Amino acid sequence: MHADEAAADRSPKAAGHTPQAPTDGNRGAHATAAFAGLATEPGVAKPDPILVVDNVVRRFGGLTAVDVEHVEIQRGSITALIGPNGAGKTTFFNQLTGFDSADAGQWTFNGRRINGLAAHKIARIGMVRTFQLTKALSKLTVLENMRLGAQKQIGESFLRALIPSLWRDQEDEITQRAEELLTRFKLDAKRGDFAGSLSGGQRKLLEMARALMVGPELVMLDEPMAGVNPALTQSLLGHVKDLREQGMTVLFVEHDMDMVRDISDWVVVMAQGQVIAEGPPGTIMSDTRVVDAYLGAHHDTPLSAEEEERQLAEAEAELEAKAAQEPGPDSPETDATAQEGAGR
């Protein structure tokens, strides 16, 4: 069996779930169409959500880092999760993927409740994530990192331990899949290098490739562009779009608004732990709630030309009045000050 197929067999798709993604190679257009006509309000229901989140709360002492009432992530789409620093995006990712325990809330993946499940179990059923700071193990080679990604996420089965041939077959499959992914991400030439020798961007690629080892349905990327040099930016963007083309759903946290505008079908905005807005990228970027959340202030509407003129004239008059009160350059006071300064 082809390694890709093997991985797919482990996914919930093989367990009977049938995603409604089209197969005509234009999933971007289909994703956009899926959002057409939706209200751009926080918590709006999606036509075919893969992830549904309800009332998730995470507190750190007196600080409520996450307090998300309801959010749905549309299957087969690329959804961006944006918000100012400290909005709670990473903490929210940590709750959903089992890397931290929420104080309250429940969420379902493909209709199955997964709150309370351990991170590796969530990964095994098809929901994986990458980290803001890459977790590649620097003293292991690129290939070993890939293989470890699969092993950790697939886990040890009783049957596998009992039947050595089954074990070897799976080892071969894992290596084959790792090699294929490394080729796809143009890291094959680096397979024997220590992960620690890779550039920031290559590490991001390795992390993304490693996440794909389990054949996931939902890929969650935490700031995929952070620390990536411009030469690799396009390549990374291409890989993210490619995930959607292959039928996966992508949810990513990002500060780079060019990337958000370029690749996302839908944008969810968080501020102070809550979802404050949702909508298509074009609409969201001009939403005053979003602008306010980012700039942390309320803004006046732009000044009219007359008002601008009036305020300028007022400021100039004020400056002139101040200058008239101040001593001139030839005054004795100024000379004394100048001599004082020269002696220091």
Ligand X SMILES: Nc1ncnc2c1ncn2[C@@H]1O[C@H](COP(=O)(O)OP(=O)(O)OP(=O)(O)O)[C@@H](O)[C@H]1O
- Binding positions for ligand X, rule: CB under 6 A: 60, 63, 65, 83, 85-91
Kindly tell me which of 91 and 130 has the beta carbon lying closer to ligand X.
91
Element (H, E) at 242: helix 230-245
Smallest distance, Å, CB 57 to ligand X?
12
Smallest distance, Å, CB 299 to ligand X?
22
DSSP state of 173: H
Kindly tell me which of 209 and 293 has the beta carbon lying closer to ligand X.
293
Kindly tell me which of 169 and 256 has the beta carbon lying closer to ligand X.
256
Q: Name 92's bridge partners.
A: none
Smallest distance, Å, CB 65 to ligand X?
3
Only one residue has tokens 């992914």, namely: 181
- Helix, strand or coil, per DSSP, at residue 109: strand
- Helix, strand or coil, per DSSP, at residue 318: helix
> Residue 133: how many CB atoms within 10 A of its CB?
10
Kindly tell me which of 140 and 257 has the beta carbon lying closer to ligand X.
257
Alpha-carbon distance 141 to 204, whole Å?
Answer: 15
Alpha-carbon distance 118 to 214, whole Å?
Answer: 16
Smallest distance, Å, CB 68 to ligand X?
12
Element (H, E) at 74: strand 63-74
Kindly tell me which of 63 and 189 has the beta carbon lying closer to ligand X.
63
- Helix, strand or coil, per DSSP, at residue 79: strand
Smallest distance, Å, CB 96 to ligand X?
12
